[in-house]
Amino acid sequence: MRETVFFVSDTHFKYEAATVEERTKHDRFLDFLARIEGASKLYLMGDIFDFWFEYRSVVPRFYHDILGALSSLKKSGTEVYIAGGNHDHWLGTYISKALGFNILPTFTTHEIQGLRIAMTHGDNLLPGDFAYKTLKSVIRSRPAIAVARTVHPDALFSFARHFSRASKGITEKKTERAARTLLSKAPDAFFLWDNDVFIMGHVHYPCLERFGERTFVILGDWERSCSYLRISEGQLSLEFYRPGENKLIENR
pLDDT in tens, 39-73: 999 999 989 988 776 766 666 667 888 999 999 99
Angstrom distance (rounded) from CA 168 to CA 165? 5
Q: Which residues of 187-225 are buried (b: 16+ CB within 10 A; e: fewer)?
A: eeebbeeebbbbbbbbbbbbbbeeeeebbbbbbbbbbeb
pLDDT above 90: percentage of residues in the chain? 52
> Which option is the CATH number for 5-250: 1.20.1180.10, 3.40.190.10, 3.40.50.620, 3.60.21.10?
3.60.21.10
Confidence (pLDDT) at 246: 44
- pLDDT higher at 125 or 217: 217
Angstrom distance (rounded) from CA 232 to CA 4? 5
pLDDT tens, position by position, 204-227: 999 999 999 999 999 999 988 999
Confidence (pLDDT) at 160: 58
The three-point CA angle 21-49-193 to 5° equals 125
Angstrom distance (rounded) from CA 118 to CA 43? 12
pTM: 0.84
CB of 51 within 8 A of CB of 12?
Answer: no
Average pLDDT of the residues of the chain: 82
**Among the listed ranges 54-58, 72-76, 122-126, 133-137, which one has the minimum average pLDDT value?**
133-137
The kind and range of the H/E element at 108 are strand 107-112
pLDDT above 70: percentage of residues in the chain? 71
